[in-house]
Amino acid sequence: MIECRNLKKIYTNGDVETAALGGVSFRVEKGEFVSIIGPSGSGKSTLMHILGALDVPTSGQYFLDGKEVSQLNDDELSELRRERIGFVFQAFNLLPRTTVLRNVTLPLLYSKTSLKEREKKARQCLRYVGMEESKFYNMSNQLSGGQMQRVAIARSLINDPAIILADEPTGNLDTKTSQIVMKAFQELNHKGHTIILITHEPDIAKYAQRIISIRDGRIESDRRSS
């Protein structure tokens, strides 16, 4: 499903060049749950932006479902992000004074899908992640952190993406709530979803089947989770 070949990313500021990625290569098969872990400045955020089609490498190749992403134009990248990648962020990125149901339908706002169909699909996604129906019409700012992250996960599923890309999804959560959210990701993976998780926390990384450690822009290890 995903193949990265010798990805390099160099940022230039005047005459100064900084190598964020120094040649990263790996594959992720359909249905895998992979954690990418590393300290601040390791290059994991840069790699996440490339995997999410939010940035392109300076050199190297990134393939998603056999298509070379680094060769796509802006419109094609936008379509790829909309239709093939589901994003879950640390800060949830929900509209605060908007209902849970409407937050989940937002990725479909500019599609040809009717409001009735959008809401039907949003309800299905919310049930899928274990969200109580009594919360569907609550404003998102009335929810707990764990509930908000479940809404964010449901939103990431609305377009039936090929891959779910989760960037530090437990960063704003306490330990107990983090465990609940990570078990939700495991359940999604058991149902066949491909998940790539970016984290700096070893305890969170262990929820995945496979852990790729990155440091100084290079892969340090790639192993099965114990």
CATH node for 2-94+157-224: 3.40.50.300
One DSSP character per residue, 21-49 reads: EEEEEEEE-TT-EEEEE--TTSSHHHHHH
Task: Please give the model's pTM, rounded to 2 decimal places.
Answer: 0.87
Report d(CA 99, CA 97) in Å as an integer.
7
Q: What is the pLDDT of residue 67?
A: 86
Domain boundaries, the chain: 2-94+157-224
Torsion of CA 219, 221, 225, 226, to 10 degrees: -160
How many beta carbons lie within 10 A of that of residue 89, not counting itself? 17
CB contact set of 114 (below 8 Å; sequence gap of 6+)? none
pLDDT tens-digit profile, the chain (226 residues): 899 999 999 988 888 888 899 999 999 999 999 999 999 889 998 999 999 998 889 999 999 988 898 788 888 888 888 888 889 888 888 898 899 999 999 888 777 788 899 899 999 999 988 888 999 999 999 998 889 888 998 998 898 888 999 998 888 888 888 888 898 889 889 988 899 999 999 999 999 999 999 999 999 999 998 7
Q: 84 near 65, Cβ under 8 Å?
A: yes
